[in-house]
């Protein structure tokens, strides 16, 4: 591997498209302000620049080092020791699969801004060999395939799991986006068609009005609105299920040579490895429905892992309580937790509720001002207060800190509950914060700084007993 290698020529196309995106605004201005051939000239310059950049990128392995050279005007040379490389991700999108090429993303354990240190695009056969050479201190792929016991330890996400994940994901943003699309779609429809829709809608509304006038209740209108919302929710859920199945298709998790290996994807195939000893913490996320169904999205917080596309190190997209415990017990035993949990005292419930209500009332005040009738204003204010009381109470129930000598478990959140399982040895600092009202109730906020790829990830849990800091500091000294 001492021979200098170059990216596949398709890299030129990727680089040109990336440059066009960066200069798109300028190109649009040129299109309206100058003659068309200036646009062509700009595109030619971008293409030439991409070719020069492709030509100047060279990489090879020499003396247990990955050497990567690049630069157009100024030259840059990186040397990464092979034993410092933490992950080598393989990614193959649809275009790559057509040309049988693959993107390799190489990360070391260096703490930085989270971007991939080296990214190369090469033929698939070469990518597999080059990846094995970069990770030669671990088992080769052939050895992994021959390990029968390893095959039995594969953990896969079924279609049913991915469908449940798609159903339980938050749909509020999707519904807003759907309404936004529907509001703009009239630009692409003929005037006659729109008039026809307006006439039918007017007839429908008039019919509902007649029913409401002749009825002792408005149950029919309420049921109609509920059915429309339900119909839209079903559409959005189906789309969400399809997206999650395409994204996480054939999701497979297994361990080999003290590394977690993850593979998934239907259109864009991804494959990456996470050194278990470099996983600083686990992040377990539960959306609102997931909290009641006992479903978790599992992520790893890993030094040296992250890129410009997706900064998450997904360990498993959706796992129930039993599967979550199985993954931790068998693959990540260092994160096993046996200890006591500290919850906010009852006197702190007030703190979880009041602030939420004040902020939400401020946010809806413009809407309340423009509502014409007082009953509707009172209904909106009442719904807002009730929802925030329920969410505040939910946050109170979810907040906790669990401690033992090896692991800190920190949970918080109302709509989305996030639980961090943090190795004691990776904690950089522990701090508390207390405002005057918290001093009155003898509670405070706890912040734990974990060493990560982004110069520290701060995890916070609010309104716990102040005496807890003593036990946390004692564990940190051990």
Which pLDDT tens digit goes with each residue over 384-418?
A: 899 899 999 999 999 999 998 889 999 999 999 99
| Nearest C-alpha neighbor of 114 from the set 338, 305, 383, 274 | 305
Please state which of the ranges 5-9, 223-227, 298-302, 372-376 shows the lowest mean pLDDT: 223-227
Do β-strands 400-403 and 340-342 pair in parallel, antiparallel, or remain unpaired? antiparallel
The C-alpha atoms of residue 330 and residue 327 are separated, in whole angstroms, by 5
pLDDT at 148: 44
The pLDDT of 352-373, averaged and rounded, is: 84
Residues 6+ apart with CB under 8 A from 288: 170, 415, 416
- DSSP annotation of 20 reads H
| Nearest C-alpha neighbor of 168 from the set 323, 387, 318, 391 | 318
- DSSP annotation of 277 reads G
The pLDDT of 130-149, averaged and rounded, is: 57
Q: Is-contact 117 104, C-beta < 8 A?
A: no
Helices (DSSP H) in 214-342: which residue ranges?
A: 219-248, 288-293, 321-331
| Nearest C-alpha neighbor of 254 from the set 390, 112, 148, 407 | 148
Do β-strands 407-412 and 400-403 pair in parallel, antiparallel, or remain unpaired? antiparallel
Tokens of 108: 């070391």
Got the DSSP string for 371-401?
Answer: -SSHHHHHHHHHHHHHHHHHHHHHHHHH-EE
Q: Is-contact 213 200, C-beta < 8 A?
A: no
Residues 6+ apart with CB under 8 A from 393: 349, 352, 353
* 252: pLDDT strictly greater than 60: yes
pLDDT at 201: 53
40, containing H or E segment? helix 36-56
pLDDT at 306: 53
The pLDDT of 208-214, averaged and rounded, is: 51
* 143: pLDDT strictly greater than 60: no
* 150: pLDDT strictly greater than 50: no
pLDDT at 342: 94
Within 93-220, strands assigned E span 101-108, 118-123, 155-156
pLDDT at 395: 94
The pLDDT of 251-256, averaged and rounded, is: 91
The C-alpha atoms of residue 12 and residue 53 are separated, in whole angstroms, by 8
**Of 24-28, 186-190, 303-307, 381-385, where does the model show the most confidence?**
381-385
The C-alpha atoms of residue 241 and residue 235 are separated, in whole angstroms, by 10
**Residue at token pair 């030619």:** 44
Total Cβ atoms within 10 A of residue 101:
21
pLDDT at 17: 86
pLDDT at 376: 78
pLDDT at 345: 93
Residue 390 dihedral angles phi and psi, to the nearest 5°: -65, -45
The model carries a pTM of 0.74
Tokens of 408: 């800190």
Q: Is-contact 444 434, C-beta < 8 A?
A: yes
pLDDT band at 344 (very low <50, low <70, confident <90, very high): very high
Share of the chain above pLDDT 90, in %: 25
Q: Is-contact 175 232, C-beta < 8 A?
A: yes
């Amino acid at each position: 591997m001492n021979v200098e290698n170059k990216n596949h020529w398709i890299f030129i196309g990727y680089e040109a498209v990336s440059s066009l995106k960066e200069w798109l605004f300028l190109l649009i201005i040129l299109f309206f302000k100058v003659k068309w051939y200036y646009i062509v000239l700009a595109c030619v310059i971008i293409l030439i620049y991409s070719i020069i950049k492709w030509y100047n990128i060279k990489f090879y392995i020499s003396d247990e080092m990955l050497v990567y050279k690049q630069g157009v005007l100024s030259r840059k040379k990186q040397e990464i020791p092979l034993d410092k490389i933490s992950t080598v991700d393989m990614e193959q999108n649809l275009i790559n699969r057509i040309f049988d090429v693959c993107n390799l993303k190489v990360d070391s354990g260096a703490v930085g801004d989270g971007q991939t240190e080296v990214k190369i695009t090469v033929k698939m056969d070469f990518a597999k060999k080059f990846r094995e050479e970069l990770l030669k201190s671990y088992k080769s792929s052939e050895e992994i395939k021959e390990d029968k016991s390893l095959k039995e330890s594969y953990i896969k996400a079924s279609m049913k799991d991915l469908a449940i994940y798609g159903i339980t994901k938050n749909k509020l943003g999707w519904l807003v986006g759907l309404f936004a699309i529907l509001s703009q779609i009239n630009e692409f429809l003929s005037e006659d068609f729109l008039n026809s829709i307006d006439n039918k809608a007017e007839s429908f509304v008039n019919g509902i009005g007649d029913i409401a006038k002749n009825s002792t209740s408005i149950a029919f209108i309420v049921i109609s609105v509920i059915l429309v919302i339900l119909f839209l929710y079903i559409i959005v859920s189906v789309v969400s299920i399809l997206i999650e199945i395409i994204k996480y298709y054939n999701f497979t998790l297994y361990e080999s040579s003290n590394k977690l290996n993850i593979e998934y994807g239907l259109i864009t195939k991804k494959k990456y490895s996470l050194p278990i000893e470099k996983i600083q913490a686990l992040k377990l996320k539960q959306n609102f429905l997931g909290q009641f169904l006992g479903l978790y999205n599992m992520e790893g917080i890993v030094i040296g892992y992250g890129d410009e596309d997706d900064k998450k190190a997904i360990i498993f997209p959706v796992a129930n309580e039993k599967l979550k415990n199985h993954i931790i017990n068998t693959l990540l035993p260092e994160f096993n937790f046996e200890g006591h949990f500290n919850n906010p005292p009852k006197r702190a419930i007030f703190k979880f509720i009041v602030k939420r209500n004040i902020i939400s009332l401020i946010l809806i005040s413009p809407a309340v001002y423009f509502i014409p009738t007082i009953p509707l204003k009172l209904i909106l204010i009442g719904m807002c207060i009730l929802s925030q009381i329920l969410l505040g109470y939910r946050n109170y129930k979810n907040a906790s800190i669990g401690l033992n000598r090896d692991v800190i478990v920190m949970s918080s959140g109302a709509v989305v509950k996030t639980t961090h399982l943090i190795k004691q040895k990776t904690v950089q600092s522990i701090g508390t914060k207390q405002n005057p009202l918290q001093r009155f109730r003898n509670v405070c906020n706890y912040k734990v700084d974990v060493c990560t790829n982004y110069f520290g990830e701060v995890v916070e849990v609010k309104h716990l007993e102040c005496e807890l800091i003593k036990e946390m500091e004692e564990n940190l000294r051990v």
